[in-house]
């Protein structure tokens, strides 16, 4: 029999009667923390004990292989809270067929709340500071931190809390809860790192309303989004779904592209933030159903980037960008089990962009003209076929030949290292500026657009072109 005995938070009143009896019955007693206050009571009760090996594997082996049929492992507080060795003992004992009996005493939670008179009607989060920085407690609920022990651990905790709470937020130090020597001290968060600490130090951080919390960095942004989606958050954000957010994602993407076109760093920064919000909203929605969260999104991206860049993170070699793209395609096909190099190009992409991506992929494996001259010859061929289709009056044939011609134009853009989508978008922008200038000029002449003759249209158009080119040159000189 292995007794797993809780020593309580500290002090004679915290060691349960059942725990004391179990320790008296055990022929051999191991204590994981010999400096714990409750060990004084064991000495007074005449209970002999010895330190448990610090190394977990050695400690488990000592307990399982002890010659005594019954041994006890005494740990601070409740055995199942804050004692990393206990689950390892439980697992090993189960595997070895050894019976285990749990003999609890109170954890530090109740003595801390009693010492501070802190009511927690909505519950308390109990977390080891040893887990920093890989924890994200909810600041709207109280948090009891244990395992502080060293000044280094306390400084790490201070840095963690400073990202979530204001400097003036009051925190409560509790030393030796449950013992007659218990001490409590209330200090603002900004003074946290100055305080002394040891293995009996606990920190109670009271709840902080969302409006008073500190939000900083990427983690702060994820908390903002989670708050918007919370039951008491924003009604509009709570109603959103993956489907309802699709048009907003598309809109933000186009707004970012416009910011890039305008070469405005401040605007680009803002639009990148708006686009990032879309990523976080989709991740938050997924996390609420247990599908995935933003941490898993980030980790998957890290793993994918490393796997697809073996020339950076492995032994592969790639001397040119073209070779990198070829290796990338091959790796993606292998990882995703795709039969075709063209698989994975979204059908929802704008047609020009999709056409250029399709042609790029085909060209990478050799389906390509020798030079741009061959593509220009193909353009002339497609123009002839389009003319013949128009003469036939067959709308389906016309649409088919027009599609062939457009796809050939996209290939010309690719050969010239021009983005067809961007090229057409810029042309539409130029046309818009020039046409609006024509509207203004016609209005200045008290003429309606409908009243203009073909020659007047042409004259206005040439003036608009000269005006837009002159404006562009002046902007380039600035």
Q: Which phi and psi angles does 101 have, rounded to 5°?
A: -125, 130
- What rounded mean pLDDT belongs to the chain? 92
- pLDDT score recorded for residue 340: 85
Determine, yes or no, domain membership for 324.
no
37 exposure class (CB count in 10 Å sphere: 0-12, 13-18, 19+): buried
DSSP 301-353: HHHHHHHT-HHHHSS----SHHHHHHHHHHHHHHHHT-SSTTTT--TTS-HHH
- pLDDT score recorded for residue 477: 65
Which helix (H) or strand (E) segment holds residue 373: the answer is helix 372-392
Q: If you search the block for the tokens 């109170």, which residue do you land on?
A: 106
Shared domain check, 171 and 102: no
Q: Is the pLDDT of residue 374 over 90?
A: yes
Least confident of 195-209, 253-267, 336-350: 336-350
Shared domain check, 264 and 239: yes
Which of 83, 106, 129 is the C-terminal boundary of a domain?
106
C-alpha distance from residue 220 to each of 134, 400, 459 (Å): 14, 52, 58
Q: Which phi and psi angles does 154 have, rounded to 5°?
A: -65, -40
C-alpha 77, offset from chain centre: 35
Least confident of 63-67, 405-409, 473-477: 473-477
Domain range for 379 is 345-415
Report the sign of the C-alpha dihedral through residues 280, 285, 291, 293, in that order: positive
Which helix (H) or strand (E) segment holds residue 103: the answer is strand 100-103
Determine, yes or no, domain membership for 318.
no
Residue 417 φ/ψ region, left for φ over 0, alpha for ψ in the -120 to 50 degree band, beta for the rest: left
Determine, yes or no, domain membership for 337.
no
Shared domain check, 101 and 8: yes
Shared domain check, 426 and 410: no
Shared domain check, 178 and 102: no
Cα 86 to Cα 173: distance, rounded to the nearest angstrom = 27
Q: Which phi and psi angles does 149 have, rounded to 5°?
A: 65, -50
Determine, yes or no, domain membership for 322.
no
Instruction: Kindly report the CATH number assigned to the domain that includes residue 150.
Output: 3.30.950.10
Determine, yes or no, domain membership for 321.
no
Residues 6+ apart with CB under 8 A from 380: none
Q: Is the pLDDT of residue 335 over 80?
A: no
- pLDDT score recorded for residue 466: 92
Shared domain check, 379 and 402: yes
Domain count of the fold of the chain: 5
Shared domain check, 439 and 404: no
- pLDDT score recorded for residue 2: 95
Shared domain check, 180 and 114: yes
Cα 374 to Cα 363: distance, rounded to the nearest angstrom = 14
Residue 30 tokens, joined:
């191991």
CB 21 within 8 A of CB 74: no
Determine, yes or no, domain membership for 101.
yes
Cα 8 to Cα 89: distance, rounded to the nearest angstrom = 19
Shared domain check, 82 and 15: yes
Q: Of 84, 260, 116, nearest to 186 (Cα)? A: 116
- Share of the chain residues as helix, strand and coil, in percent rounded to the nearest 5: 60, 10, 30
Question: Of 380 and 475, which is predicted with more confidence?
Answer: 380
Which of 87, 106, 125 is the C-terminal boundary of a domain?
106
Cα 99 to Cα 108: distance, rounded to the nearest angstrom = 27
Cα 198 to Cα 282: distance, rounded to the nearest angstrom = 43
Shared domain check, 426 and 406: no
pLDDT in tens, 3-14: 999 999 887 788
Instruction: Kindly report the CATH number assigned to the domain that includes residue 411.
Output: 1.10.287.1080
Shared domain check, 263 and 231: yes
pLDDT in tens, 138-190: 999 999 999 998 999 999 999 999 999 999 999 999 999 988 889 999 999 99
Q: Of 74, 87, 63, nearest to 8 (Cα)? A: 74
Determine, yes or no, domain membership for 178.
yes
Which helix (H) or strand (E) segment holds residue 377: the answer is helix 372-392
Cα 321 to Cα 28: distance, rounded to the nearest angstrom = 69
Shared domain check, 375 and 357: yes
Residues 6+ apart with CB under 8 A from 69: 1, 27
Q: Of 121, 182, 192, nearest to 156 (Cα)? A: 192
- pLDDT score recorded for residue 60: 95
Determine, yes or no, domain membership for 331.
no
């Amino acid at each position: 029999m292995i007794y797993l005995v809780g020593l309580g938070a500290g002090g004679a009143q915290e060691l349960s009667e059942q725990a004391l009896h179990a320790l008296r019955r055990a022929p051999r007693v191991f204590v994981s923390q010999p400096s714990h206050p409750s060990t004084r009571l064991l000495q007074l009760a005449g209970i002999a004990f010895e330190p448990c090996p610090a190394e977990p594997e050695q400690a488990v082996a000592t307990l399982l292989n002890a010659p005594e049929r019954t041994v006890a492992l005494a740990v601070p507080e409740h055995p199942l809270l804050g004692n990393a060795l206990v689950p390892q003992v439980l697992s090993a004992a189960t595997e070895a067929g050894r019976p285990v009996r749990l003999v609890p005493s109170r954890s530090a939670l109740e003595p801390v709340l009693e010492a501070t008179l802190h009511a927690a009607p909505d519950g308390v989060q109990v977390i080891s500071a040893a887990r920093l920085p890989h924890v994200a407690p909810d600041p709207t609920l109280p948090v009891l931190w244990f395992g502080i022990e060293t000044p280094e651990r306390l400084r790490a905790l201070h840095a963690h809390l400073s990202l979530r709470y204001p400097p003036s937020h009051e925190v409560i130090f509790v030393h030796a809860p449950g013992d007659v020597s218990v001490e409590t001290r209330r200090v603002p968060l900004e003074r946290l790192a100055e305080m002394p600490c040891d293995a009996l130090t606990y920190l109670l951080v009271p709840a902080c309303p969302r409006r008073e919390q500190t939000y900083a960095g990427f983690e702060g942004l994820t908390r903002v989004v989670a708050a918007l989606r919370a039951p008491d958050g924003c009604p509009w954000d709570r109603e959103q779904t993956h489907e309802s957010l699709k048009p907003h994602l598309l809109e933000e993407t186009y707004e970012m592209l416009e910011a890039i076109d305008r070469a405005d760093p401040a605007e680009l920064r803002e639009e990148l933030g708006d686009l990032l919000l879309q990523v976080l909203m989709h991740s938050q929605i997924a996390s609420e159903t247990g599908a995935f969260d933003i941490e898993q999104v980030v980790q998957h991206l890290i793993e994918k980037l490393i796997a697809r860049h073996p020339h950076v993170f492995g032994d592969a070699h790639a001397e040119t960008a073209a070779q990198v793209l070829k290796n990338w395609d091959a790796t993606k096909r292998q990882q995703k089990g795709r039969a075709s190099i063209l698989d994975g190009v979204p059908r929802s992409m704008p047609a020009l962009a999709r056409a250029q991506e399709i042609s790029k992929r085909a060209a990478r494996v050799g389906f390509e003209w020798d030079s741009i001259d061959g593509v220009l010859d193909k353009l002339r061929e497609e123009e002839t076929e389009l003319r013949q289709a128009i003469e036939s009056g067959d709308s389906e044939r016309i649409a088919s030949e027009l599609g062939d011609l457009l796809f050939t134009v996209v290939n010309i853009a690719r050969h010239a290292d021009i983005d067809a989508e961007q090229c057409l978008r810029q042309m539409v922008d130029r046309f818009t500026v020039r046409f609006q200038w024509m509207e203004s000029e016609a209005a200045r002449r008290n003429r309606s657009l409908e009243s203009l003759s073909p020659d007047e249209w042409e004259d206005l158009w040439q003036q608009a072109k000269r005006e837009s080119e002159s404006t562009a040159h002046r902007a380039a000189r600035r």
